[in-house]
Structure 1
């Protein structure tokens, strides 16, 4: 598996806040989906409240 850095923003009470996370995944699409699932469950966000702007292989 490869490591991917996923960057984007999510809606918070104060406005949009940036995030950056690193995940292990076989490809960019899986890395994006894993980020939606993990970050969304940790912060109580829906996918529509998150925007992924960049997925970069490491």
Structure 2
């Protein structure tokens, strides 16, 4: 299933030190593999982090 998303915020990139604690549980097999699916809590936390680095809003 494809999900189409339209960006509404343009943000500065997040430093790894800011986003890695949020997605830490997605790493497995001695940090060599990563599960890309995010749960709702991870998604909300990442959006919150990105929101503090907003460059422009698109409506």
> Under a length normalisation based on structure 1, what TM-score does the superposition of the two structures give?
0.32
> Under a length normalisation based on structure 2, what TM-score does the superposition of the two structures give?
0.32
Flag the structure with higher helix content: 2
Query: Which is greater in Rg?
Result: 2
Structure possessing the higher relative contact order (Cα contacts under 8 Å, 6 or more residues apart): 2
